[in-house]
Structure 1
Amino acid sequence: MRRLGYLYLALAYGFIFLPVVVLVVFSLQDGRLPVPPFQGFSLRWYGKILSDRGLMTALGNSAAVAGVSSGVALVLGFLAAHGLARVRLPGSVLMRGVLIAPMTVSYLIIGLGLLTLFNQMGVKPSLWATGIGHVVINLPLCFAICFAAMGDHQKSAERAARDLGASEMRVLWHVSAPMLAPALGAAFFLSVTFSWDEFIIAFLLTRFDVTLPVEIWSMLRSGLSPATNAIGSLVFLASALVVIALEALFRRSK
């Protein structure tokens, strides 16, 4: 049974990571097409993409949109979770359901809805519009993580701080947020990961200033290239670092 377990794990990891291994391997070859046979080791494709101004601009756009939208979603999600967890309101269960509902809706539907709304409001496609779209899809995630992490011990600490004369803002800043730091960090990192890789909303709501996934899609329209493999490898590395940081945060909280 133990051997079967190891075999199952090997097959599962192979199924998951084999495409990534192929992606990385053919980003390091010297040939012009990322197809077998391997034609020699070279880092020139990494040098090419790092010197490409358009790609670097798209990379910066993705980082800015992911960071700002995740920060806004985290603040709004934390405040909503704190309010609904600490104050009993009529229809609070319905409110929680409405806040989490966007997680069950396709990104395509959300993107089309936002595009229609922005057109009616006269808002042109831009990185700001894309950031708003990413707040819409990440806010429910941040709310769910923060709400699930709130317990009675935090409630008691908040009550004690109020009894000692702390204002509500001081309670949030000095008591609630530090006690929820692991959950807040997890929510932020996950939001950054989802925003970083998101394509549909970014494609619909950008025009000239595009994010990295949209730029990669534009490159793929002209055919496969080891350069696109190199970009994918760097994106995978960035995502893996975020996941490792998130895992370290969870271990620290435990």
Structure 2
Amino acid sequence: MRLLSWTYLAVAYAFVFLPVVVLVVFSFQDGRLPVPPFKGVTLDWYAKVLGDEDLMAALLNSLLVAVVSSLVALILGFLAAHALARVRLPGSVLMRGVLIAPMTVSYLIIALGLLTVFNQLGIRPSLWATGIGHVVINLPLCFAISYAAMGDHQKAAERAARDLGAAEWQVLALISAPMLAAPLAAAFFLSVTFSWDEFIIAFLLTRFDVTLPVEIWSMLKSGLSPATNAVGSLVFLVSVTLVILLEIFV
């Protein structure tokens, strides 16, 4: 039985990580195609990728959109969660459902809806439009994590702060948020990860200043190359770094 458990675990890990291992290994391929047989090790593809101005611009665009949109989604999600957790409002159950609903909707549907609304409002495709789209998809996640973390022990501290004369914004900034530092950090890093890898919304809502997933898609249109593997490896490295930071600081 123990052997069966270890076998199942090994197969599961292989299923998840084998494609990533192949991606990374063939990013060092000393050849024009990332396919077997492996012809040797070279760093030329990484040098080519890091020296590509379009790729580096797309990388910076992705970081900008991911960090800013995640921060906005975190603030809005935290405020909404605090309001619905602390104040009894008519229809609060419905409000929670509406806030979480985008998590059940396809990104393609959200992107098409936003594209239609932006066209009606005269908002052109841009990084800012993409950032708004990422706020829409990450806000439910931030709300759900913040709402689930709020408990009665925080109510007592918030009530004591109000009794001592603290304004409501001081209660939020100096009491509520620090007590929820770990869940808020988790929500932020998860949002950054989802935004960093997101393609559909970024593809439909950007035009000239594209994000890294859109730039990778443009590279793939010209065929497979170890350069695309190198880019994918760098993207994977950033995602792993975010997860490690989440484990260390949360």
Specify the TM-score bucket, using the shorter chain as the normaliser.
over 0.9
- CA-to-aligned-CA distance 1:115-135 (integer Å, 9 cap, x gap): 000111111000000000000
How many Å separate the matches in 1 of 2:203 and 2:188?
23
Asked if structure 2 preserves the Cα contact closer than 8 Å seen for 1:74 and 1:188, the reply is: yes
Q: For residues 53-85 of structure 1, give each alpha carbon's deviation from its aligned partner in whole angstroms, at most 9, with x where no partner exists.
A: 000000000000000000000000000000000
Aligned to 2:9: 9
Q: CA deviation at 1:248?
A: 2.9
Alpha-carbon contact 1:84-1:92 (below 8 Å) kept: yes
1:247, distance to aligned residue in structure 2 (A): 2.5
Query: Residue in 2 aligned with 1:100?
Result: 100
Aligned AA (2:41): F
Partner of 1:160: 160
1:61 counterpart residue number: 61
Matching of residues 168-187 of structure 1 within 5 Å: 168-187=168-187
**Cα distance in 1 for residues equivalent to 2:106 and 2:29:** 37
Spell out, residue by residue over 1:184-242, the C-alpha distance to the aligned partner (whole angstroms, 9 max, x if none): 00000000000000000000000000000000000000000000000100111110111
- 1:71-110, aligned counterparts within 5 Å? 71-110=71-110
Q: Output the amino acid matched with 2:66.
A: A
Question: Counterpart amino acid of 2:128?
Answer: W
Q: Deviations over 1:80-131 (max 9, x none)?
A: 0000000000000000000000000000000000000011111100000000
2:214 is matched by which residue type in structure 1?
V
SS of 2:123's equivalent? coil
Q: Which residue number corresponds to residue 147 of structure 2? A: 147
> Which segments of structure 1 move beyond 6 Å, counting only runs of 4 or more?
none
Query: What per-residue deviation string (whole Å, max 9, x for no partner) do you get for residues 19-42 of structure 1?
Result: 000000000111010000001100
Shift of 1:245: 1.9
Q: How much has 1:243 moved relative to structure 2?
A: 1.3
- Which residue of structure 2 aligns with residue 28 of structure 1? 28
Partner of 2:189: 189
Match of 2:233 in 1: 233
Gaps of 5+ in 1: none
Taking the aligned partners of 2:7 and 2:51, their CA distance within structure 1 comes to 43
- d(CA) in 1 for partners of 2:127 and 2:169? 31
Paired letter, 1:140: P
Task: Provide the aligned C-alpha RMSD in A.
Answer: 0.7
Mean CA deviation greater in 63-72 or 237-246 = 237-246
Equivalent residues, number: 250
- TM-score, normalising length from structure 2? 0.99
Amino acid at match of 1:178: P
- Separation in 2, partners of 1:207, 1:169: 39
Do the aligned partners of 1:186 and 1:249 also contact (CA within 8 Å) in 2? no
Matched AA of 1:152:
D
Contact 1:81–1:146 (CA under 8 A) maintained in structure 2: yes
Q: Distance in 2 between matches of 1:206 and 1:14?
A: 36
In 2, are the aligned partners of 1:158 and 1:175 still within 8 Å (CA)?
A: yes
Q: CA deviation at 1:244?
A: 1.8
Deviation of 1:2 after TM superposition, in Å, equals: 1.3
Q: 2 CA distance for matches of 1:165 and 1:3?
A: 63
In structure 2, what is the Cα distance between the partners aligned to 1:103 and 1:169?
29
